[in-house]
Structure 1
Amino acid sequence: MSILLIWAVFVIYPLVFSLFESLKDNKQFMNNKAWSLPQFPLLWGNYSDTWVRYEFGHYFVNSIVVTIGSMVLALILTSTTSYIMARYAFKGRGLIYYFYIASMTVPMMMLVIPMFFLFGDLHLSNSWFGLIVLYAIGSVPFGMFVLTGFFKSLPRELEESAVIDGATHYGVFFKVMLPLSLSGLITISIVNVVGFWNEYPFALMLISNPLKYTLPVGLNFMQGAMQYRTEFGPLFAGVTIASIPILIVYMFFQKYINEGITAGAVK
């Protein structure tokens, strides 16, 4: 219990620290009060300053578009691939499955340079679509690892009954198997959303138009736009704004993450 309490402090403290720092001005930082509580009056104007003057609203909308698009495409690719790997026997299935699993061990940073040239040749650089495709494909191995266990655990009698009632292969998948694996779909969706929302290296590499920056790249650009005078209050306000959606997702869907990963690992 004590270990969990210590861990909770380590997790919560950076969030509280960012909130407190976002309510200060530079004078409080320069007077060696960076670790102290903010002084009254609290500078809530830092948030509006960040949102309007540094065009943080554009970055926020861009991240929402990229995250939702990536999540939808990732669910389509992952669910169909997992279903085939779990329910159909064909030559080389085991080799393909372990190839997917092995790809999870490859550090993403090793792919930055190859992806830069590949997406340039495909004319996918500097576009949201390029990011969406990259994020979705990159999430397939983990999603397949989780969902394959779900599909394997479903009784084959359900498929047979659906076929007897006249369902096609597509009907069995969309009307029977997919609804029954809803908890697994929710689990990988939440994990993917967190990863897509916070991803930085590939977004920095592929997007050069400031109007298309996502939140992580926008924060970095925002700090550069301050030039020789870093405004810590608005900068921490941006960090806090970027953290809020992820916190909300975890608060409302936390139990699905635990249940989904546990159930998918049974097989």
Structure 2
Amino acid sequence: MTTKVVPSESLLRGRRATEFIEEITLLNDLEWKEPIKKWVLHCSFFSHKIESTILPKETEWYILIDDDYPKGNIRVFPSKVNCFNETFPHQMYNGEGSKEFPWRSGMLCLDTNVRTLGRFVSNSEPFEADKRLNWYLERAIHWLIAASSNTLTLSDEPFELIDFPQSSSLKLGFLENHQSFKYWNYTDVTCGIAELSVILPGTCIIRAFKKPNGQCFREINWGNYVSNFKYNNRVLGLWILLKEMPFLEPWQAPCTWEELAAVCANQGIDLQKKINSLTKKKYL
């Protein structure tokens, strides 16, 4: 016998409070999704302030809420219909998502770390039942307005890495920091051979970067844990130094060879030509 899950009074209070946000229209009320153990709210967001040449003024969204609301997580995902498929700053990779659910994978980043949203909605997250859900939804609406006007990031914010989807079981370990970033900015070596080793099934680490002629010019010094693995199961790969973060407008990771080639071409780099020249080396 299946036990029916009903929303708590706290969650119902939070849901009722959303009725006072003019920009939100409820399309489907709270529904329990057993496979993910979440409450799902389906609604649309609308604002006249959204620049329609960039984003539709009205879009559909799915709100995923933990059962212990007002604690737990609240996550906002774009719908697979009547929404957009681009990836913007402060957003997870906006892929097609699971076939089981009607939302895409591009969760909006709305927490207190997104300081630009604090210009419109306080960066102090409330935890009262009648306020917390509204706080997320109001920030989502202002996220859309900012995305459409290219003001999602501020000049004094920490740099945001692009979100790459985890579509492969292969893991590649690298060791970089602000000091190595300076090194890469001043080196005149722009491509070469990467020497890797397998430390666990499906997990490789970069041991060294080599010039196209095979000469090592940067060896990676790992900590004790990684260093304890034997330097065997050697794997060779190619590396190319790009001029900037590889991304597709507005802020999407390239996920296919075609997309990566297009990104490289925009930076004046012929990816296929680079690969062909490196793979001709006799030590590969």
Q: Same fold judged by TM-score > 0.5?
A: no
If asked which structure has higher relative contact order (CA below 8 Å, sep 6+), I would say 1
Which structure has greater helix proportion?
Answer: 1
Q: TM-score, normalised by structure 2?
A: 0.25
Higher strand share: 2
Instruction: Report the TM-score, using the length of structure 1 for normalisation.
Output: 0.26
